Amino acid sequence: MGRTPVSNVEIIKNRTVVADDWSVLRLSDGETPESVSIPAGKVIVPFSVWQAQRTLLQDRAPLGVWLASDAQADVLKDDLAHFAVIAVDFPKFTDGRGYSIAYTLRTRFAYSGELRAIGDVLRDQLFYMQRVGFDAFAVRADKNIHDALKGLTDFSEKYQTSWDEKTPLFRRVNRQAVSQG
């Protein structure tokens, strides 16, 4: 029996707060990827469920999948076309593996659909998350999502490349040396 999936009523998408009709399926204790039943509607399933129930799921559209923070981006590399949403889970906001997963999905596997951060998603990490390729944020339910939106604009310049900025500052602008005086 599947637990009622958790639904974020609102998410940040493309820098605005929008209603969200996706639900994220997380396995409860005792549930297995093989046996869990998948509710109707737009569901983001764990990667393990996608693996276990692939034959059932592959004709279902739209479908989302989420990766745990210890996953590698390349597990999805041949399946990207199946998903309308790929989410990456942050079990703790201090777990930074999801940043490398997002970066790799975007740059190496050219994933261009919605890339959503789920889990312990907080305002002060959003700027970095958007830089590595996330364009949607399911901000933790007890936080003010409109406040979190401000986190996306903390900085107006950045030195180094990432997904959002293909050229480093030193190639992008003409930086004049300041006099030593």
Partner 1 sequence: MYRYDQYDHQIVKERVAQYRDQVRRRLADELTEEEFLPLRLQNGLYMQRHAYMLRVAVPYGMLSSAQVRMFGHIARTYDRGYGHFTTRQNIQFNWINLEQSPDILAELATVEMHAIQTSGNCIRNTTSDELAGVAADEIIDPRPYAEIIREWSTFHPEFAYLPRKFKIAISGSEQDRAATAVHDIGLHVVKNAQGEVGFRFLVGGGMGRTPIIGSVIREFLPWQHALTYLEAILRVYNQYGRRDNKYKARIKILVKALGAEEFGRQVEAEWAEIKDGPATLTVEELQRIAQYFVPPPYATLPASDAGFEAHKADNKAFANWLLRNVKAHKVSGYAAVILSVKKTGVPPGDITAAQLDFVADLADQYSFGEVRITHEQNLVLADVKLSDLFTVWQAVKAQGLATPNIGLLTDIICCPGGDFCSLANAKSIPIAQAIAEKFDNLDFQHDIGEIELNISGCINACGHHHVGNIGILGVDKDGSEWYQVSIGGAQGNNTSIGKIIGPSFSSQQMPVVIERLLDVYVKQRTEEELFIDTVQRLGIAPFKEYVYASPIPTGHTHGEDACV
Please say whether the beta carbons of 6 and 23 come within 8 A: yes
Read off the tokens for 179: 């006099």
The binder of partner 1 chosen from 100, 113, 149, 152 (CB under 8 A): 100
Which one, 82 or 123, has the nearer CB to partner 1?
Answer: 123
Q: How far is the CB of 53 from partner 1 (least distance, A)?
A: 27
Which one, 13 or 158, has the nearer CB to partner 1?
Answer: 158
For residue 132, state whether it binds partner 1 (rule: CB under 8 A). Answer: yes
Pairwise CA distance, residues 20 & 30, whole Å: 28
Read off the tokens for 29: 């204790």
For residue 180, state whether it binds partner 1 (rule: CB under 8 A). Answer: yes
Ordered alpha helix ranges (H), the chain: 47-52, 54-57, 97-107, 123-132, 145-149, 169-172
Which one, 38 or 122, has the nearer CB to partner 1?
Answer: 122
Q: How far is the CB of 131 from partner 1 (least distance, A)?
A: 4
Read off the tokens for 92: 């703790």
Please say whether the beta carbons of 163 and 107 come within 8 A: yes
Read off the tokens for 99: 């940043």
For residue 158, state whether it binds partner 1 (rule: CB under 8 A). Answer: yes
Residues 42-81, one symbol each (x = binds partner 1 by CB under 8 A, - = not), give: ------------------------------x---------
Pairwise CA distance, residues 136 & 111, whole Å: 14
Chain residues in the site for partner 1 (CB under 8 A): 72, 93-97, 99-101, 103, 108, 122, 124-125, 127-129, 131-132, 147, 154-162, 166-171, 173, 175-180
